[in-house]
């Protein structure tokens, strides 16, 4: 094989690896997704215990979880009235989760019986509302904004621009 052919193949492989890594980080984010779906409740309880919401991770509480989009949201309330809620987002490529939002305490953010926050889990963005009080519940907004489609369109536009420039520059030689 000629030296120039080897060089072209190596350049092509390097470009493919760089594009694959860029796509992976664009779609999945830069942080790790360390938790499996079975570990999420334990992780949520441990974080609540760390924030002094629970006296022990296995304390009896009112705990609700709901899955929506590409994420799972948890809400808990103790007998003393302490509150916590969290949302964990799923990786686009793997069946692993990471923490997106965590709120706790009866003072400040969770002083009211309802808290609404925006969740962007990498695939879609939506509003989650956690209801505390007599009955703990989680509801989600009707408006869902696609995020994954926008990322995919950005990748397609970048690829079209790169290939268009290469074709234009090759034609000028």
The pLDDT value given to residue 15: 82
Regarding beta strands 145-146 and 124-131, do their DSSP bridges make them parallel or antiparallel, or are they unpaired?
A: antiparallel
Q: What is the pLDDT of residues 51-87, one digit of tens each?
A: 888 887 778 889 999 999 889 999 999 888 889 999 9
How would you label 12-45 residue by residue, b for 16+ Cβ within 10 Å and e otherwise?
A: eeeeeeeeeeeeeebbbeeeebebeeeebeebbb
Q: Which of 116, 135, 139, 136 is nearest to 75 (CA)?
A: 136
* Domains of the chain by residue range: 1-30, 37-142, 146-173
Both tokens of 100, joined, read 């997106």
Residue pair 88/72 in contact by the 8 Å Cβ criterion: yes
Whose structure tokens read 């030296």? 3
Alpha helices in 29-77 (DSSP H): 40-50
Q: Centre a 10 Å sphere on the Cβ of residue 4 and count the other Cβ atoms it contains.
A: 8
Residues of the chain with pLDDT under 70: 1, 106-111, 171-173
């Amino acid at each position: 094989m000629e030296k120039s052919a080897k060089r072209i193949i190596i350049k092509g492989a390097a470009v493919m690896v760089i594009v694959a890594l860029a796509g992976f980080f664009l779609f999945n984010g830069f942080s790790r997704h360390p938790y499996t779906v079975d570990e999420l409740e334990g992780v949520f309880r441990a974080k609540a215990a760390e924030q002094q919401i629970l006296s022990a991770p296995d304390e009896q509480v009112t705990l609700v979880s709901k899955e929506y989009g590409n994420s799972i949201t948890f809400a808990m309330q103790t007998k003393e009235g302490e509150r916590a809620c969290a949302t964990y987002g799923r990786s686009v490529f793997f069946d692993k989760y990471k923490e997106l939002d965590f709120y706790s305490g009866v003072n400040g953010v969770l002083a009211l019986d309802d808290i609404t926050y925006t969740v962007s889990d990498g695939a879609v963005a939506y509003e989650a509302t956690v209801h505390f009080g007599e009955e703990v519940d989680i509801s989600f907004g009707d408006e869902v904004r696609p995020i994954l489609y926008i990322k995919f369109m950005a990748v397609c536009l970048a690829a079209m621009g790169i290939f268009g420039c290469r074709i234009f520059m090759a034609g000028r030689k």
